[in-house]
Amino acid sequence: MEFVQLNNYAISIEKQFASDIIKESFPLRYGKYSVIKTSEYEFLFNLNGEIKFIRGLNIKNWPHPAEQLKRTDGNDWVYYSVGDDSSEKGIIAWLGEYYLPCLPYPSNSVWEFSYFSNPGAMNALAAWSQLYANLYGARRDGLSSKLSSFIDLVLNNDESVLYEKSMKLSSIIGGRVSVLPPDTRHVDYEIIPLMIADGCLYHCKFCCVKSAQQFQARSKTDILEQIQQLKIFYGRNLENYNALFLGNHDALEAGDELIYLAASESIEAFGFGNSHSKTPKLFLFGSVDSLLKSGNELFEKLNHLPFYTYINIGLESVDAPTLAYIHKPLDTSKIRDAFQKMLDINSTYANIEITANFLLGEQLSPDHYQSLAELLRNAPVPSHSKGAVYLSPLKDSPKKRELLPKFLEIKKQSRLPAYIYLIQRL
Ligand code: SF4
């Protein structure tokens, strides 16, 4: 990496890291970012000059050299932890990733880590404020115009501007994304959100991310308007995105026409597929009913788009009393039909992957776990074929870490890949 020196800072502008997100233990780096290094920290800025990552280098209290803070487009600082078990039974087995995102808001994580009480992480955020102040006061004599423009770009994105931008994003799409599909882990949760519907079909009692709205699809005009505004919003940094999330909680219910319109219009507008080396990803949620009523025509169309598409369906349980307990208004035969349809689609369409969510919780009955283990053990698919199942700890489960042995037991029996679902907002 080529660095220029400014006072005590080594600066590299628009460094190209791996073009695709690669799952590896160290370091998690992808896309095109500018880097400022001090003797203690490494700061990464996206192509709009917005702070994105902070990593401790040679400082006391930094928990692990591979860990870092990441700022999301919703302006949350998320701490990426490697956890306390780096064996194959550790985080990689639970999440399918080498990092556990530790969130600054309540969620359903099995691993409690509050970076607010971690001096290393808090010092890193203070170091970012100090860096900003130092850049503000830095003498510019003799600096190249490229370096000077980069400093201006960073200075144009102070904390209040970053907050305003996150509000602007929510206002473009009509509200904050309260949950991302678990499959977005494959792109480190870096997606462009585009809402094609609001609300959901069931309003289940256990759900902590639902809105009060009845299901309502957006109009074509609204979707096209969002695309135009999102293109302006992301600006130069669009180059760092290669994935689209069609929201909200049941985009599949919006139907063929809107899904196809939103996906196909986004390809050109957001520059997806400009690179020959990486396949853009499309993510959406679906429900049991929307999956069961979706016809082959939609899947044929999706399969021929440049995207690899993930559709995540909330199945929750194949045990009738459990469905009643969580107030999911479905019977087990529908859940089983949806599970079978998921397997059929996954084996038919090379570019579509349906995944499913089930629940984990101390308060759930042995019958829930038994019926789930049986379903996954007897799934008529080649072992560990595509179509992951995600087990989502109930948010109000006490002692979530104690759920891990239960999860690992189900994972061991499952013919499908199985992971924990960490509920994460944008
Ligand atoms: S689980 Fe899905 S369908 Fe049920 S309330 Fe939540 S968002 Fe709606």
Distance CA 16, CA 18 (A): 7
| CA 298 – CA 137 distance, rounded (Å) | 56
pLDDT value for 8: 86
Q: What is the pLDDT of residues 106-140, one digit of tens each?
A: 888 777 777 778 888 899 999 999 999 999 998 88
As a whole number, mean pLDDT of residues 135-157 equals 92
Name which residue leads in pLDDT, 6 or 199: 199
Distance CA(245)–CA(178), nearest Å, equals 13
| Protein residues with CB under 6 Å of any ligand 1 atom | 200-204, 207, 209-210, 249, 287, 314
Cis bond upstream, residue 27 (ω within 30): yes
Residue having the nearest C-alpha atom to atom 4 of ligand 1: 204
**What value does the mean pLDDT take over residues 90-108?**
88
Measured from the Cα of 316, ligand 1's closest atom is: 1
- 166 pLDDT band, cuts 50/70/90, is very high
Check pLDDT > 70 for residue 333. yes
Spell out where 49-99 has E strands.
Answer: 51-56, 68-71, 77-81
Closest residue by CA, ligand 1 atom 5: 203
Distance 335 CA to ligand 1 centre (A): 14
Pocket of ligand 1, candidates 204, 211, 284, 323: which has the most ligand atoms within 8 Å of its Cβ, to mutate? Answer: 204
Predicted pLDDT at 143: 87
Phi, psi for 406 (deg, rounded to 5): -65, -45
* Residue-averaged pLDDT of the chain: 92
pTM: 0.95
* Distance of CA 200 from the midpoint of ligand 1 (Å): 6
Of 177, 180, 216, 287, the residue with max ligand 1 atoms within 8 A of its CB, to mutate for a pocket test, comes to: 287
Burial 54-78 (b: 16+ CB within 10 A, else e): bbbeeeeebbeebbbbbbbbbbbbb
Q: Is 296 helix (H, G, I), strand (E, B) or coil?
A: helix
Task: Enter the tokens of residue 239.
Answer: 């180059």
Ligand 1 centroid from CA 201, angstroms: 7
Nearest CA to ligand 1 atom 3: 202
Q: 211 CA to middle of ligand 1, Å?
A: 9
Cα–Cα dist 312/182, whole Å = 8
Q: What is the pLDDT of residue 18?
A: 85
| Token representation of residue 257 | 């026409």
Summarize pLDDT for 24-69 with one digit per residue, the tens: 777 678 899 999 999 999 999 999 999 999 999 988 888 888 899 9
How far does residue 376's CA lie from ligand 1's centre (Å)? 22
The token pair at 364 is 């759930």
Of ligand 1's listed atoms, the one at least distance from the Cα of 201 is 3
- How does pLDDT run across 252-281, given as a tens digit for each residue? 999 999 999 999 999 999 999 776 668 999
Percent of the chain clearing pLDDT 70 (strictly above): 98
Residue 219's SS3 state is: coil
| Contact (Cβ atoms closer than 8 angstroms) between residue 215 and residue 201 | yes
Model pLDDT for residues 184-231, shown as the tens digit of each residue? 999 999 999 999 999 999 998 888 888 888 999 999 999 999 999 999
Centre of ligand 1 to C-alpha 279, Å, is 29
Name the burial class of residue 416, with classes exposed (0-12), middle (13-18) and buried (19+) by CB atoms within 10 angstroms of its CB.
buried
Taking the C-alpha atoms of residue 406 and residue 397, their distance in angstroms, rounded to an integer, is 13
The predicted structure's pLDDT at residue 89 = 73
pLDDT digits (tens, 9 = 90+) for 354-392: 999 999 998 999 999 999 999 999 999 887 789 999 999
Please tell me the predicted confidence (pLDDT) of residue 164: 98
